[in-house]
Amino acid sequence: MNRLIAVVLVLATCLPLPWTNADEPDASRLRQHVTKLASSEFQGRREAGAIKARSYLIDEFTKLGLQPLFGGSFTQNVTGKGPEDVIGVNLGARIIGSDPSQADHWVILGAHYDHLGRQGALIYPGADDNASGVAMMLEVARTIARSPVKPRRSIAFVGFDLEERGPKGEFGLRGSQFFARNPPMALDKIALFVTADMIGRSLGGVLETTAFVLGSEHEPEVRPWINKAAEGKPVKLALLGSDMLVIDRSDYGPFRSRKIPYLFFTTGESPVYHSPLDVPETIDYPKLEAISRIIAGIVREALDGPVVPVWSAVPDYPLAEAVAVRDVLQTLLFHKEAFAIGGYQIALMNQTIKTIDEIERRGTMTSAERTRIARTAQVIMFTVF
């Protein structure tokens, strides 16, 4: 054998294999998960349907050879008033990092699996909300579990229960709140918490190529990871400050309040949000695939890269955020009749667009301007959707 070929062969068997397309989250697998989880058999993933969803996730975790996250169990009972009052069940699996000096650092990839259940004969399938996020989590888990290169740091995959609302219909996030109060790892060892809620459609049904990422204002060092992972993907990421949503809209809330670096991915409220029409057939699978691949790239960087994100108390709002808001406002204005956007809102939106034009020309943004842009975003989110 030629010596050079021999060296190449030896190297090829020793070196970590590069990521190949086959290792990436895949649209047809994502579709399978969404179709199953949002089928009538799962009854909107509440009560009897939630029990089916739990079995499905545990089966998938087991097939991937993942370890249970909660002291030998894939389940964590979410309790209410006392230890006997079980109101829900979180699910979790893990891969322990291969680098002993890094294995106590954790990345958490979570998605809520519960939805609204049924009202009489009417089923709320929750394909976008949030079978799409769960499918992404399972696909990222598959690519990491099947990769010949084991991650340096540890990763937990978590399916949260009771995001939509508690057992008595009260405000949700009960599963993630319980998890953050009873974590299976030290909270200060969570390098990054990533969650996705509704990543298969588009805001208002019109921002077709846009996905929103919130949270990077507290750990701007992840932005190059996001940009790298998004390169060449058929989706435009709008990085927004979390304050634009006024309240915590998904499971990042309990992590945000504990100052744990987090990223929240969403394509926003579509016209079939929280309706029986949120069915698997109308999910944009190429978009879901692109977002899942971006999240896989970011998670991989957090697991293997030289640095772990550090929470920065003073949020950093880049000019790109203002530009992303302008894109959204312009698109909504283009469809103003369809959204029945009124005169006051149109004036506010046009004024804000002018301000952002000026900011872009100048290349700087004052904190007062940023506050006004965020207020406009809040008003529009509240009144248009």
Residues of this chain that bind Zn ion (CB under 5 A): 129-130, 197
**Minimum CB distance to Zn ion, residue 107 (Å):** 21
**Minimum CB distance to Zn ion, residue 128 (Å):** 8
Which CB sits closer to Zn ion, 92 or 172?
A: 172
Q: Given its phi and psi angles, is residue 334 left (phi above 0), alpha (psi -120 to 50 degrees) or beta?
A: alpha
- The b/e string for 171-210 (b: 16+ C-beta within 10 A; e otherwise) is ebbbbbbbbbeebbeeeeebbbbbbbbbbbbbbbbbbeeb
**Minimum CB distance to Zn ion, residue 159 (Å):** 12
Residue 365 is classified by DSSP as -
What lies within 8 Å, CB to CB, of 105 at 6+ separation is 97, 153, 154, 189, 191, 308
Q: What type of residue sits at position 21?
A: N
CA atoms 123, 129, 132, 133: torsion sign: negative
**Minimum CB distance to Zn ion, residue 77 (Å):** 21
**Minimum CB distance to Zn ion, residue 197 (Å):** 4
First to last CA, the chain: 68
**Minimum CB distance to Zn ion, residue 130 (Å):** 4
Which CB sits closer to Zn ion, 130 or 154?
A: 130
- CA-CA-CA-CA dihedral for 161, 164, 168, 169, to nearest 10: 180
> Which residue is listed with tokens 């998605």?
111
Which CB sits closer to Zn ion, 130 or 376?
A: 130
Which CB sits closer to Zn ion, 131 or 302?
A: 131
Which CB sits closer to Zn ion, 170 or 188?
A: 170
Which CB sits closer to Zn ion, 251 or 321?
A: 251
